[in-house]
Amino acid sequence: MKILTNSNIIYGQIEKLIENSKEFLYLISPYIDFEIKNHDSYQKFINSINLAIQNKVEVNFISRLPDSRYKRNPEEILKPFIHKGCNLYLVPNLHSKIYCNESKVLITSLNMYLYSVINNEEVGVKVSKKNQPKEFENIRYYIEKLLSKSNNYKPKEKIEEVEKKLTEELTKGKGFCILCLKEISFNKFKPLCYDCYNEFKSFFPIHGKYCHKCGEKDYNTDQHYPLCYNCYRKLYY
């Protein structure tokens, strides 16, 4: 894990992460703007994204759904990339900034916004899959969560088929209460035992301590996302 405390270095690392991508890219930034008067250094950034597209890397942008606080439309700004086949997912109230390829992830305060690189104090942390596999997977899981909240995310299979298959898969066998680890029947939609549910139902959504499927410790679980990353992958892919 590496801490980065300089906007220009963070910016350079994002560029590198894009250049080194081989399979996929997630560029997550609520605010995106490549233009600034009398400045051309974002051109390099744009070139590196274009190179990734040429190399058949799957490029995914996740940005903020325009709202009363933020009216600029990322669709407009990213048009040239979308035309070349990049995906854009818009998530309401997005404030996270994450840049991720298949081997590295950078979590930072820096938007894909040149003004911030030049003017703002920014910080970031870089995690590599090789050295921190658990953390890396947790971040991937978080990105999946974000995607599922976007207004236009569709899994590759037809949505109804996936749902049907999942409902069957997600309600059979044995599982664990995500709060007290008591053995209960596995049901992705009811991951708590009767007692825990009744005790905590006012704390919506109820946060868990264990994976509902395998019972491993996992503090990222909650009522809606009751699975650890491994079980999630096994069930959904």
The residues that touch Zn ion, with contacts defined as CB under 5 A, are 177, 179-180, 182, 193, 196, 211, 213-214, 228, 231
Tokens 């009522």 map to which residue?
223
Of 36 and 214, nearer to Zn ion (C-beta) is: 214
68 DSSP assignment: S
Bridge partners (DSSP) listed for residue 120: none
Tokens 């995607």 map to which residue?
147
CB of 202 to Zn ion, least distance (A): 16
CB of 197 to Zn ion, least distance (A): 8
Measured CA to CA, the distance from residue 146 to residue 40 in angstroms comes to 31
CB of 166 to Zn ion, least distance (A): 16
Of 113 and 176, nearer to Zn ion (C-beta) is: 176
Of 18 and 228, nearer to Zn ion (C-beta) is: 228
Of 85 and 173, nearer to Zn ion (C-beta) is: 173
Of 53 and 180, nearer to Zn ion (C-beta) is: 180
Q: For residue 170, give both structure tokens.
A: 């997600």
Crossing angle of helices 133-149/229-236, nearest 10°? 50
Bridge partners (DSSP) listed for residue 3: 125
Give the residue among 13, 3, 80 at the shortest CA–CA distance from 45: 13
CB of 221 to Zn ion, least distance (A): 9
